Amino acid sequence: MADGRRARGDLTRRTAARRAAMIATVSGLDAITVGGLAADTGLSKSGILTVFPNREAIQLAAVAEARAIYIETVIRPAWAAEPGLPRLRAILDHWVAYVRAETFPGGCFLANTSVEFGHREGPVADAVRALKREWLELLEGELAAAGSADPVEDAFRIDAYLTAANTQLQLFGDAASLGRARRLAGDVLDR
């Protein structure tokens, strides 16, 4: 009996976290509510509140779920490439594919939540900052392996191009911005 409850709780946790991450890209992490999640997922409010004690816990789970999705769709597939330039090119290609495939309905989770929580404090803001820092450090490490003279500046440029492409796509439906960002980020690698 306990195993059945645990399995149901795990399923509720995963379902609610995934849906919360999806909502966050369209409406923001602040738009996540227990009632909204229940309506969107078919889960009961009490079931959601059994696995998440409050809205902040749901928001933190959404960030963790988005990180897992990002690793699965952008990072892991690129990890087979050699460190440095080959891996960076693969990461860029997979990032473009991730946004183009509408993995999240509102575009890149990290680009959207970084703006939403950039000026805030607290555990959710800390989780968003940690996710952004992890992304930048990944780029910096691969750029250093590729022989970049300034991995921090180059990572900033790449992140700026990708974030701008996400913004252009979401605001204007400009799918060409993804190719433009890929080309410009590639130019950073080829300097």
Q: Which amino acid is at 99?
A: V
Measured distance CA(112)–CA(96) in Å, rounded: 16
Residue 172 half-sphere exposure toward CB, CA atoms < 13 A:
9
* Residue 65 vs residues 39, 55, 120, 146: alpha-carbon distances, Å: 20, 15, 21, 30
First to last CA, the chain: 61
Q: What is the pLDDT of residues 55-86, one digit of tens each?
A: 999 999 999 999 999 999 999 999 999 999 99
CATH for the stretch 2-189: 1.10.357.10
pLDDT at residue number 116: 87
Q: Where does the pLDDT of residue 169 fall: very low under 50, low under 70, confident under 90, or very high at 90 and above?
A: very high
pLDDT at residue number 118: 81
Alpha-helix residue ranges (DSSP H) falling in 28-54: 34-41, 45-51
Q: Where does the pLDDT of residue 7 fall: very low under 50, low under 70, confident under 90, or very high at 90 and above?
A: confident
Residue with tokens 């970084």: 114
Select from 53, 79, 55, 75 the least CA-distant residue to 66: 75
For the segment 16-32, the average pLDDT, to the nearest whole number, is: 95
Give the predicted TM-score (pTM) of the model. 0.92
Q: Please enumerate in sequence order all residues whose Cβ is within 8 A of that of 98, keeping only pairs 6 or more positions apart, or say none.
A: 70, 73, 74, 108
DSSP state of 121: -
Residue with tokens 């790449």: 158
Q: Does pLDDT of 2 surpass 70?
A: no
> How do the domains of the chain map onto residue ranges?
2-189
User: Which secondary-structure segment (H or E) carries 113?
Assistant: helix 109-117
CB 83 within 8 A of CB 142: yes
Q: What is the pLDDT of residues 92-117, one digit of tens each?
A: 999 999 999 999 999 999 999 998 88
Q: Where does the pLDDT of residue 14 fall: very low under 50, low under 70, confident under 90, or very high at 90 and above?
A: very high
